[in-house]
Amino acid sequence: MKQTEPSNMGALLKNLPRRVVRALCFSGRGLKGAFVKEEAFRLEVLGLGLLAAILAAAAWPLWKKAALLAVYLLIPLAELFNSALEDICDLVSPDHHPLVAQAKDKGSAAVLVAIWVNLLTLLALCLAD
C-alpha cells in the first residue's frame, strides 16, 4: 500500500467509499470461492448456523453466546488461510515436494488448533457458573 501524503488526505477520503466497496467485493469473491471449492469450509459455515440457532434458544447470558460465536469464527478463519496456502502451494509446486507437504500440514494443524480453542472455550463457559 502506498503512503499517502498529508496533502492528499482529502483525495484519500474522497476515494474511501469506492475503496471499501472494492475491498468488500474482493472479500466476497474469496468467501464464495472457498464455499464453492472447500467442503470443510461449507461444513464450518453450516456449523456456524447450527451454533447460532442453538445459542438463540439457550438460556445463557449474552456475553457467553457472543464469546462462543466469536471463538467459533476462528475455525473458518483458519480454514480460509489454510485454503489460500494450499492454493499457493499447488500453483508454485504442482508436483509433490516435502516442503509443500509440510506447509499444507501446518495449515491443517492451524485449523485443528482453532477447533481445540473452541472446545476449551466451550468447556470453560460451561464450568463458569
Share of the chain above pLDDT 70, in %: 95
CATH code at 55? 1.10.287.3610
Would you say residue 2 has pLDDT above 70?
no
Per the structure, how many domains does the chain have?
2
Residue 93 has pLDDT above 80, yes or no: yes
Tell whether the model's pLDDT for residue 129 goes beyond 90. no
Same domain, 66 and 50: yes
What's at 90, amino acid-wise? Answer: D
Average pLDDT over residues 93-117: 95
Q: Same structural domain for residues 44 and 25?
A: no
For the residues 93-110, what does the mean pLDDT come to? 94
Identify whether residues 51 and 66 lie together within a single domain. yes
Are 64 and 31 within one domain? no
Instruction: Verify whether residue 39 is a known catalytic residue.
Output: no
Q: Tell me which of 61 and 1 has the higher pLDDT.
A: 61
Indicate whether 58 and 118 sit together in one domain. Answer: yes
Report CA torsion sign: 90, 92, 95, 97: negative
Instruction: State the residue range of the domain holding 96.
Output: 39-127
**Secondary structure letter of residue 68 according to DSSP:** H
> What's the residue count for the chain?
129
Residue 4 has pLDDT above 60, yes or no: no
pLDDT at 47 over 90: yes
pLDDT at 39: 96
Give this prediction's pTM: 0.84
C-alpha radius of gyration, the chain, whole number = 19
The reply to whether 63 and 13 lie within a common domain is no
**Contact between 71 and 118 (Cβ < 8 Å):** yes
58 Cβ contact partners less than 8 Å away, ≥ 6 residues apart: 65
The gap between the terminal CA atoms of the chain, to the nearest Å, is: 47
Based on the domain organization, do 31 and 57 belong to the same domain? no
SS3 call for 24 = helix
Regarding whether 70 and 25 lie in a shared domain, the answer is: no
- Looking at the fold, whether 46 and 11 belong to one and the same domain comes out as no
Ranking 7-16, 52-61, 71-80 by mean pLDDT, the lowest is: 7-16
Tell me the C-alpha distance between 92 and 11, whole Å.
38
Question: CA torsion sign, 88 to 90 to 92 to 98?
Answer: positive
Instruction: Find the catalytic residue in 5, 38, 79, 86.
Output: 79
Q: Are residues 115 and 57 in the same domain?
A: yes
Q: Tell me the pLDDT of the chain averaged across its residues.
A: 93
The pLDDT of residue 8 is: 81
Note whether 13 and 70 are same-domain residues. no
Instruction: Could you list the beta-strand ranges (E) of the chain.
Output: none
